[in-house]
Chain A
């Protein structure tokens, strides 16, 4: 049984949740156990300043696993295209996490003109050794009462954004396991400056063809085609026509299951 924890909202992301769950099940023969991490299940948590409705829930996973075994965490704005057991069975080689490297992440003025000014491990898909992660993160009360930026507290302990230090406790996963917008997330284009907008430089990364994407992450709140109601930004077009076609077909298949009687009578 593969334990998978998915950070999501109470109901605003239900469209993509169904597609994610469907694709996870569709692409594996292994039994999986999905736990949805929704705000309503964590009523007394400090959620002030979070960028999403589920930002810090991911760090409760070791606790929810009783600090034993391995688990996978992922955000809900994702679609699976490859047997998730392959990720679960990845040998962490004694490390705490398996994470994809986000080569474009700007680490702020503190790191300007250093080798670490750009690039960070992303915690939106995580393979977790729950015993080791529990020791690193601390007890559940610490997570529950944490202030915004808790991620940085944890990754500071791992020496990030210094990648070589981070790799002592983090196994770098193939970027296909967390492909932002269908790109090679770990590719750093040459000649970009620190001031350039993330969305713009994202266009400079190589686009993976659909069959090269193992796990797609729709990171752009504006271009998420289900437009969750908590998004404060304008709605924009998701600029991958090849993936749009696949995603809407998956939506059709999900509807065939969830509204089966209507399809049979059609």
Chain B
């Protein structure tokens, strides 16, 4: 699904320029920038909503665009928004979200995403497959051992949603940049 790349670029450029890079368990060694998060610790009743001015300026537009792309109305929550910037040492670990979907908004490079329609514990063994050798691994071929594993090629300006029944792993290249978004189903 195409999204408003220009709008997201306005935000990502400002974030990369002004915000300090952070860590996030989803992508060891990558630079991450947490913008919004409803998953707060138990004793904290305030949602995470960075005070970074460009985020505050564009937040409503970004929310609106996410709702359009995800095809969700106001009754569904946008739960988490993180910008990830990769480097030549960073990598992703498998991701599975119960009762919500997770989406990659691709900003730079065209990383591949391996997805598996299996729960995390059954998917994890597939997540290290060579994502760049279709001859070796016939991803998704019916009747084969790889029938539940699919390879998603990505494009800049497109968003890729992964449903709650699925597990995903991204294979970032050095310059990969994307927004990671979690929403209600």
Contact = CB atoms under 8 A, between A and B. Distances in A.
Interface residues of B, number: 19
Contact of A255 (B17, B37, B43, B46): B17
Contacts, number: 55
A197 B44 CA distance: 12
B37 A248 contact: no
A260 interface: no
Interface stretch (B49-57, B90-98, B132-140, B160-168): B49-57
A235 B43 contact: no
B32 to A, nearest CB: 9
Q: Interface centre among A14, A197, A226, A248, by most B CB within 10 Å?
A: A248
A241 B43 CA distance: 19
B20 interface: yes
Interface string A222-237: 1001110100011111
B48 A237 contact: yes
A252 B41 CA distance: 30
B46 A239 contact: yes
Nearest to B49: A237
B47 interface: yes
Interface string A9-30: 0000011000000000000000
Nearest to A231: B23
Nearest to A233: B41
A249 B51 CA distance: 10
B24 to A, nearest CB: 9
Contact of A252 (B18, B34, B47): B18
Given A15-B20, A252-B18, A227 B34 contact: yes
Contacts of A245: 51, 53
A229 B41 contact: no
Contacts of B50: 225, 237
22 contacts: A15-B20, A197-B43, A200-B43, A226-B20, A227-B20, A227-B22, A227-B23, A229-B23, A234-B44, A235-B34, A235-B48, A236-B40, A236-B44, A236-B46, A237-B46, A237-B47, A237-B49, A239-B46, A248-B51, A248-B52, A249-B53, A255-B17
